[in-house]
């Protein structure tokens, strides 16, 4: 693949050694850069050619724009604006009334819906910000917030990745002391998991695994007494956090 960079609608100008240097405009064929078939991306390009090859490689592998039908777009827009927890079918029970884990088909379906939601969010919101969230100063206020209202994507997108991990850590500690998933906790979790990015760092994996363990313990201990809505949400967040972020040994069914 060849990439030739030209100036806009200018005539070809040959800047040879005999040129008097008074000609205006750029060379019509300014740069001639090709992308080798065996090209390996370079983290820190050493010159202009390597930089352009990296740009060409990224453009070649860029994800296509995701297209969804109008019904799905309308549903995802409502979830994004109001952060309603994704609707989840009632968990199945056996003849004795004991809780059965979600099926693999159900989990894969919810995983695909979550991926579509992430793509929608990425296309309709600005890139992640760099604002630092001071945990020592704001932890109590954050706990108060997750009890009282849903988050706003437009505000929380300003926070850096480390700040979101701190929020997830606080949520995990908070959930470890609860008997159910309260109404506004789900939307906060949906915000955090849909903006953490992929692949996860080792520190991110550790935090997610702690979250998974807390959710599984809560479900095991209180599934017979917690509201149906809380049980649905637990199944959903166990599914997406284990399967999307590759913590399959903590997924339901281990498959």
Residues 84 and 174 in one domain: yes
State pLDDT tens for residues 58-96.
Answer: 777 766 555 556 676 666 666 555 444 444 444 444 444
Higher pLDDT, 144 or 24: 144
Count structural domains, the chain.
2
Which of residues 22, 41, 60 is at a domain's end?
A: 60
Among 3-7, 39-43, 157-161, the range with the most confident prediction by mean pLDDT is 157-161
For residue 149 the two structure tokens come to: 């209202």
CATH code where residue 207 lies: 1.20.58.1070
Q: For residue 79, what pLDDT is reported? A: 54
Residues 17 and 140 in one domain: no
Would the pLDDT of 201 be above 90? no
Residues 79 and 132 in one domain: yes
Structural domain span for residue 102 = 70-250
Does the pTM of the predicted model rise above 0.75? Answer: no
Residues 236 and 189 in one domain: yes
The span from the CA of 34 to the CA of 2, in Å, is 5
Q: For residue 94, what pLDDT is reported? A: 41
Residues 78 and 135 in one domain: yes
Q: For residue 70, what pLDDT is reported? A: 67
How high does pLDDT run on average in the chain?
75
Residues 76 and 180 in one domain: yes
Residues 55 and 104 in one domain: no
């Amino acid at each position: 693949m060849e990439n030739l960079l030209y100036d806009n609608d200018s005539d070809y100008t040959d800047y040879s050694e005999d040129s008097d240097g008074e000609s205006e405009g750029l060379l019509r064929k300014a740069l001639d850069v090709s992308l080798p078939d065996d090209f390996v991306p370079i983290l820190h390009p050493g010159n202009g050619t390597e930089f352009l090859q990296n740009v060409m490689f990224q453009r070649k592998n860029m994800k296509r724009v995701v297209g969804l039908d109008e019904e799905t777009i309308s549903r995802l827009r409502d979830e994004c604006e109001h952060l309603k927890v994704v609707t989840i079918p009632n968990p199945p029970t056996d003849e004795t009334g004991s809780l059965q884990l979600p099926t693999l088909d159900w989990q894969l379906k919810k995983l695909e819906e979550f991926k579509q939601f992430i793509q929608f969010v990425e296309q309709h919101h600005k890139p992640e910000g760099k604002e630092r969230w001071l945990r020592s100063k704001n932890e109590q206020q954050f706990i108060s917030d997750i009890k009282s209202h849903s988050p706003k994507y437009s505000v929380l997108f300003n926070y850096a990745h480390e700040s979101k991990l701190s929020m997830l850590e606080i949520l995990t500690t908070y959930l470890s002391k609860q008997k159910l998933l309260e109404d506004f906790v789900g939307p906060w979790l949906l915000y955090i998991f849909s903006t953490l990015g992929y692949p996860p760092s080792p520190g991110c994996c550790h935090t997610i695994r702690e979250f998974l363990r807390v959710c599984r313990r809560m479900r095991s201990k209180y599934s017979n007494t917690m509201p149906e809505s809380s049980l649905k949400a637990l199944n959903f967040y166990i599914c997406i956090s284990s399967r999307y972020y590759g913590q399959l040994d903590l997924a339901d069914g281990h498959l």
